[in-house]
Every structure is written in C-alpha cells, then in structure tokens.
Amino acid sequence: MDKNIRHFYNLASVRRNNRINALVINERLIRNQVRIKIVIREFYKDLYHHERSLIVGFRDELVNRIDEEDSVVLERMSTVEEVKDEILDCESSKAPNSDGYNMNFIKKCCDEIGSEFTASMLDFFRSARIPSYSNIMWVSLAPKFNKAKKIKDLRPINMVGCFYKVISKVLVRRIGSVMSNLVGETQSAFVKGQKIHDETFITCETVQ
C-alpha cells in the first residue's frame, strides 16, 4: 500500500472529497482543523528534513560519456515548436498552475495566451531561472485505504504546476535521445522497452 502507483495520483486529482475531517493524534481522535494542519506540517517537516549526504563519484570508464556533438544538441536553445509539442503532449486534466488553471485551459486558449506562455518558457532556457510563482507545488494527502485515521495512513502526492511540468518534459525528451549511449547493455531496470524482471528470467533460463 506504500507503492508509488497511479492509483494515489488519481485520488489526489479527484476533488470531490479532499478534506481530512479527523485524525488520530496521540491515540486521540482530533477534529480541530487548525491542530490537524499543524500536526501534519510538523510530521512531514521532521520526516523530510535535510540530511548531509556523502559525495558520490564515478570511476573513469565506469560510465560512458556523450560526445561533443550530442552535448551541443542537449544544450541548444529551445524552440517555439518544441515547447508547443510538449504542451500538447501533457495530460489536460492534470498539473494545475498557481492560478488554478490546468493544462486543458492552456491548450484551449492557446490563441490568446499561447504566445505569452511560450515566451515565458523560452525565457527560462535563456536565463536558467524559474519565476517564483511558477515553482509553486501542492502536496495532496491520499488515503492508502478506506477510513484512514493516522498520518502514516496518508500518502503525500506532489502536484507539479504546468510551467514546471512542460520544462521537465522538454529536458527529459532531450536526455532520452542520448540515454541509450549512456546506459550499459546489461542494465534492464529503468530503461525504455526493457523490464526489471528481464534479468531474473535470463538467470532462471541460464540455470535451467
């Protein structure tokens, strides 16, 4: 029930009943909304606090490197057509912006606001700065099962806004074009067209 699956994202997207009416806090059922908000905020603040981590490096020749030609392709300036393609590729009913409008609004009103939205996207690639209003994200708490009453029974879902989502899709699509040259032939997990179970099947076949 703790897996990061689409089911929880669907729950977070449905707006019919997102209110948490009561929580069990210190073995007591609390219905005071102010106290519930404070407890939830402190719980996740403590859970996700920053910890100093070790610096991880790679030995030479352990990881492949892209050539200069691919590097130029990755760093080239984005185009209007590239941004528009990623906007159309986004799911319409998800990723609300800080003003409450989702991707469907941007698609439907592309003639009116499309040029301004695209200009903002291109400005990011020129300046490498995201406007503060566009970097706002929401955290929705989706119940892991019916009648969830404790904080640990709620799964936090991060709802990313339109602006941030389109930027991510542009970068991911570019990286995808060179990823096949960086990933080892023996790696099957997290590779498009391959499954994490492939290596297990191969091992079983080898043993047999």
User: Is the pTM higher than 0.85?
Assistant: no
Paired residues of 110 in beta bridges: none
Alpha helical stretches, state H, the chain: 6-13, 33-47, 68-75, 80-89, 103-108, 110-127, 162-182, 198-207
pLDDT class for 206, splitting at 50, 70, 90?
Answer: very high
For residue 92 the two structure tokens come to: 């319409």
The residue among 24 and 97 whose pLDDT is bigger is 24
**Cα 47 to Cα 135: distance, rounded to the nearest angstrom:** 22
Copy the structure tokens of residue 27: 């073995």
Q: Answer whether 36's CB lies under 8 Å from 167's CB.
A: no
Contacts of 195 (CB under 8 A, 6+ apart): 188
- 141-188: per-residue pLDDT in tens? 888 887 788 888 888 877 777 888 888 888 888 888 888 778 777 777
The pLDDT of residue 208: 92
Q: Is 103 exposed, middle or buried (0-12, 13-18, 19+ CB in 10 A)?
A: buried
Residues in Cβ contact with 92 at an 8 Å cutoff, skipping those fewer than 6 apart: 102, 103, 104, 107
pLDDT in tens, 77-86: 888 888 888 8
Sorted by sequence, the CB contacts under 8 Å of residue 11 that are 6+ apart come out as 142, 143, 157
Percent of the chain with pLDDT over 90: 2
pLDDT for residue 38 is more than 80: yes
Which range is least confidently modeled, 25-34, 132-141, 149-158? 132-141
On whether the CB atoms of residues 137 and 158 are closer than 8 A, the answer is yes
Is the CB of residue 74 less than 8 Å from the CB of residue 174? Answer: yes
The pLDDT-based confidence of 14 (bands split at 50, 70, 90) is: low
42 contacts: CB under 8 Å, gap ≥ 6: none
pLDDT greater than 90 at residue 24: no
The DSSP result for 144-188, as a single string, is SSTT--SGGGEEEEEEE-HHHHHHHHHHHHHHHHHHHHHS-TT--
Could you read off the pLDDT of 86-124 as tens digits, one per residue? 888 888 876 666 667 788 888 888 888 888 888 888 888
